[in-house]
Amino acid sequence: MLAEKRQLNLNLFIYPGGHHEAGWRYKDSAPGRVLDIAYYQELAKKAEASKFDALFFADGPALADNIRYASRFRLEPLTWISALAAVTERIAFIATASTTYNEPYNLARLFASVDHLSGGRAGW
């Protein structure tokens, strides 16, 4: 009997403010780079070199209510994906986006444009 070939797909979930509100206190963290696109380009290149399949960005139509201890700022995902796709070759990019605050046709058009320009590497 032949062994079944299995494949593991890896996605990097980038959450700029971190997943722990005190993470910015870690000595090797880079809280000053939360708005530095070069930082995210470096992460995308490292993920691609490490054979990750995709990067995931969760967007939200509002700021989190607990901003006392950590940054809750997030970049707009389509612009973010475009900047990362320009410096990578094969890794895919997936983002959430709300049709509550964006017209569905226009949002689909934006994702389709990024998908086309990135060679089919954008997902919603």
The string of pLDDT tens digits covering residues 87-124 is 999 999 999 998 988 999 999 999 999 999 999 999 99
pTM of the full structure: 0.84
Whether 54 contacts 15, CB under 8 Å: no
Domain-located, residue 70: yes
In terms of phi and psi (left: phi > 0; alpha: psi -120 to 50; beta: otherwise), the region of 58 is beta
Whether 11 contacts 58, CB under 8 Å: no
Domain-located, residue 22: no
Domain-located, residue 37: yes
DSSP secondary structure code for residue 32 in this structure: G
Structural domain including 114 reads 11-17+32-123
Around Cβ 9, how many Cβ atoms within 10 Å?
8
User: Of 111, 95, 93, which is closest to residue 103 (Cα–Cα)?
Assistant: 111
Query: Using CA atoms, how far apart are residues 115 and 110, in angstroms rounded to an integer?
Result: 9
pLDDT averaged over every residue in the chain: 87
Q: Does 49 have pLDDT greater than 90?
A: yes
Whether 92 contacts 46, CB under 8 Å: no
Domain-located, residue 2: no
Tokens of 102: 């964006």
Domain-located, residue 116: yes
The residue among 74 and 26 whose pLDDT is bigger is 26
Domain-located, residue 3: no
The string of pLDDT tens digits covering residues 37-48 is 999 999 999 999
Of all helices (H) and strands (E), which one includes residue 46? helix 37-49
Domain-located, residue 50: yes
Q: How many distinct structural domains can be found in the chain?
A: 1
DSSP secondary structure code for residue 8 in this structure: -
The residue among 58 and 118 whose pLDDT is bigger is 118
Q: Does 64 have pLDDT greater than 80?
A: no
